[in-house]
Structure 1
């Protein structure tokens, strides 16, 4: 379907009076993650006005940067601008083409970092890349060797209780690494006994610190926003749930020594 022009698939009156919203990373969040995690917050992205009236048409045709694939965008809906304020728009989601929201992927090479474009100039350059069977709900489980997630992505995975991730991480014990991007410090932890990686990491999502003393003091002072901004989770090793706990504890100790996480470079106290 890669050769089908977007205008051949979506043909409605709204396109004659709209601007295309090319939503991409704002320095803090990827709109794709926002879309997956919280649709109300995604709607707010389309209400943002800024200091310019970029979306000065009646409708906003929203595309979301699908950042894992170059020049690919996910259809985020068509919004009607029902009111304009000095600091924001009020929008309502149109029902037309709503069956394609989160499913339609569009190929379009954007010039620079432009936030809005006119469809009469650029629609002919937009082609249908793919139509997903179900609305996009986040990255698929990449295999145990590929697990490395920023806190916010892990939060989305766990809050949505994605079956592929939950099934995989609930069935293994293991050793993991938490890296604090703000200072480079690291923490090595483990999950053993009857607790799989999923359960252990779920505790971090609830608290921001997983009851680690060093992280707990930071989160108490700065809030969960600190974890969302700075913490990255990596699975270092995994074993089946029937594995001897001694093996997990020994491997945890090995990684603490290897990564120097028990001194000034890390958050491990012992």
Structure 2
């Protein structure tokens, strides 16, 4: 099947007036998560000026890199540069979303593109014919599809998006489940084992972690207090060790929690204090 060039969808947009912004993981957050979570936060990614005035054209054509496929990108909209200040390493661009320019494709259009080298900001007209349409989603992107209970291995930053955006497939899969989980600090390798019991379920427990980042656990309270919330969002990863329906007796869940603490040595080397 012949590829569909992006050029066929841009309408009246003049590529010679556009800079292409290919947003990638910044060490803390994935651009897809930001785009799904907040339009204002997403715009901030294009407001940032590095040392050079990279966005020196009238428009910015923004793309968010896919989590797993580096050549796949989700369209994030066209921004008009209303004002630019000469201050580098700062949010020096004042922008406005031009939803009259390809607005219906925002968070729906997925394209394929391999940027040359490590360039993330470049002239759109130079590279437009190397960008191909992959798909157009039926609905706007609202977050990652639930991967399965045994495939959860996500940072608090990603889970924050899932909770606040109320990803329905995630909530449906987790709100009626009890379980034992582990939270690892990916910088130090230290783990914390906890459980979701009672009538709240795993989804409600995750909501507590998103709200305060420590869930009231002493070891994590200390960690978040020392490292700060941004560190916690970027480096604390959540995974399920055991899970079962709400009819599972709490005693069995707590027994498994203690078992996993012993197996993973989280009392001796991790963040469990009991």
Which TM class, normalised by the smaller chain length? over 0.9
Partner Cα distance (1:215, 1:122) in 2: 46
Partner Cα distance (1:262, 1:3) in 2: 55
Partner Cα distance (2:48, 2:60) in 1: 12
**Greater CA deviation, 13-22 or 251-260?**
13-22
**Greater CA deviation, 164-173 or 5-14?**
5-14
Aligned to 1:194: 199
Aligned to 1:34: 34
Aligned to 2:59: 59
After superposition, the Cα gap between the structure-2 partners of 1:2 and 1:243, relative to the gap in structure 1 and judged at 3 Å, is farther
C-alpha RMSD of the superposition = 1.4
Aligned to 2:147: 142
Task: Verify: 1:126 aligned to 2:157, yes or no.
Answer: no
Aligned counterpart for 2:210 among listed residues 199, 205, 210 = 205
TM-score relative to the length of structure 2:
0.94
Aligned to 1:160: 165
Aligned to 1:9: 9
Aligned counterpart for 1:93 among listed residues 86, 91, 97 = 97
Partner Cα distance (1:65, 1:134) in 2: 18
Task: Verify: 1:229 aligned to 2:244, yes or no.
Answer: no
Aligned to 2:79: 79
Partner Cα distance (1:67, 1:184) in 2: 22
Task: Verify: 1:107 aligned to 2:112, yes or no.
Answer: yes
After superposition, the Cα gap between the structure-2 partners of 1:13 and 1:70, relative to the gap in structure 1 and judged at 3 Å, is closer
SS in 1 for 2:4: coil
Aligned to 1:43: 43
After superposition, the Cα gap between the structure-2 partners of 1:2 and 1:198, relative to the gap in structure 1 and judged at 3 Å, is farther
For structure 1, the 5+ residue unaligned runs are: none
Which residues of 2 match residues 162-181 of structure 1 at below 5 A?
162-181=167-186
SS in 2 for 1:46: helix
SS in 1 for 2:111: strand
Aligned counterpart for 2:270 among listed residues 253, 266, 269 = 266
| CA-CA distance at 1:115 after TM superposition | 1.4
After superposition, the Cα gap between the structure-2 partners of 1:49 and 1:218, relative to the gap in structure 1 and judged at 3 Å, is same
CA contact (8 A) 2:29 2:157 kept: no
**Greater CA deviation, 198-207 or 9-18?**
9-18
SS in 2 for 1:79: strand
After superposition, the Cα gap between the structure-2 partners of 1:10 and 1:214, relative to the gap in structure 1 and judged at 3 Å, is same
Partner Cα distance (2:30, 2:150) in 1: 24
Deviations 1:9-35 (A, max 9, x none): 112243231111111122222222111
| CA-CA distance at 1:70 after TM superposition | 3.2
Partner Cα distance (2:26, 2:195) in 1: 34
CA contact (8 A) 2:16 2:123 kept: no
| CA-CA distance at 1:2 after TM superposition | 6.6
